[in-house]
Copies of this chain bind each other. A is one copy, B any other.
């Protein structure tokens, strides 16, 4: 083996010595647009390969004040949609030269500490996704202030210190509400997620107010404490057992809730979807397309949104359109 991993890694100085140039020439060889002659670069690269040299990104970050690191804060692992987002985010960011620090935030109280850690790693940005984060803490928490860019992904925010990249939830839910009405449903039950005080989705509010506006009818809802199919199963089952009048459609804040709800209908009450009770979700997770769910849902343009994130990181984003992405209704059998 030519390189002994026990010995110290080769540095640019080592390569420089071997080639007979200065250290700076070596580092330039590794920069795409650096001013260096093709000949020097070739010699450097050859020597680098021989020594197993690769530039130290830590030292580079320290010196340059850019880490090419993005922190991703997630607290919601029961929701399969997160896996999709993680996949696309890590893949696309990596394609543009950013690495991803994945931080599992245990709960809202833990988020400030997670942000602090991220800031100590000098991340170029921290992306909060599905995190239950208190808007006030976004102001006061030390970590929040230390992070260069604070980005809420797939979630709205009124906090001016924050950049929000998301769908126009109101427009999306309006589309969905109208669809529900057009299909002739008259007794919707909204299945909502955690009722946080801030940084939350406007889906329930939009659906309820839009429905009320068109149908002049108050709507009941169920609140599930987390975006977890099992909790949704429980909550929906409990609700249907206690409440007298049966809804004809469950409008769910996302697919995780929708799938749990649908399971409850089927296995607790032996009800069929959509014949007995229809179900509609949000996110279009992979499981939504499987034959047992065939879930009608709304798909967010995640890849586009991640590309917008890249623009934000590069500083070339159009800040006006960042929270106005529009997705599409995916009609399947469930509603």
Given A58-B62, A292-B292, the answer on whether A102 and B104 have CB atoms closer than 8 Å is: no
| Chain B residue at minimum C-beta to C-beta distance from A90 | B104
The reply to whether A146 and B62 form a contact with Cβ atoms under 8 Å apart is: no
Question: A121 is contacted by which of B57, B116, B145 (Cβ under 8 Å)?
Answer: B57
Of A21-29, A79-87, A126-134, A201-209, the segment with at least 4 beta carbons within 8 Å of chain B is A79-87
Contact with B along A294-317 (1 / 0, CB 8 A): 000000000000000000000000
Q: Does A99 contact B (CB under 8 A)?
A: yes
Question: Which residues on B sit within 8 Å (CB–CB) of A52?
Answer: 142, 145-146
| Chain B residue at minimum C-beta to C-beta distance from A62 | B58
Question: A54 is contacted by which of B61, B146, B148 (Cβ under 8 Å)?
Answer: B146
Question: A56 is contacted by which of B3, B122, B142, B263 (Cβ under 8 Å)?
Answer: B122
Q: Does A197 contact B (CB under 8 A)?
A: no
Question: A62 is contacted by which of B3, B62, B120 (Cβ under 8 Å)?
Answer: B62
Q: Does A222 contact B (CB under 8 A)?
A: no
The reply to whether A99 and B83 form a contact with Cβ atoms under 8 Å apart is: no
Q: Does A35 contact B (CB under 8 A)?
A: no
The reply to whether B103 and A94 form a contact with Cβ atoms under 8 Å apart is: yes
Q: CA–CA, A263 to B91, complex, Å?
A: 29
Question: A263 is contacted by which of B1, B72, B103, B292 (Cβ under 8 Å)?
Answer: B292
A-side interface residues, number (CB < 8 Å)? 55
Question: A80 is contacted by which of B1, B49, B83, B99 (Cβ under 8 Å)?
Answer: B83
Q: Does A19 contact B (CB under 8 A)?
A: no
Q: Does A326 contact B (CB under 8 A)?
A: no
From residue A166, how far is it (CB to closest CB) to chain B in Å? Answer: 22
The reply to whether B100 and A146 form a contact with Cβ atoms under 8 Å apart is: no
The reply to whether B291 and A267 form a contact with Cβ atoms under 8 Å apart is: yes
Q: CA–CA, A59 to B60, complex, Å?
A: 10
Q: Does A225 contact B (CB under 8 A)?
A: no
Offer 9 A-B interface pairs, CB within 8 angstroms, sorted by A: A1-B145, A54-B146, A55-B120, A57-B117, A58-B121, A59-B62, A99-B101, A100-B103, A267-B291
The 4 A-B residue pairs with the shortest CB-CB distance, nearest first, are A90-B104, A267-B291, A77-B87, A102-B102
> With A83-B83, A86-B86, A100-B102 given, can you name 18 additional A-B contacts, CB distance below 8 Å?
A3-B146, A5-B147, A5-B148, A49-B142, A52-B142, A54-B116, A56-B122, A57-B117, A58-B121, A62-B62, A72-B102, A80-B83, A91-B106, A229-B286, A229-B290, A230-B286, A263-B291, A263-B292
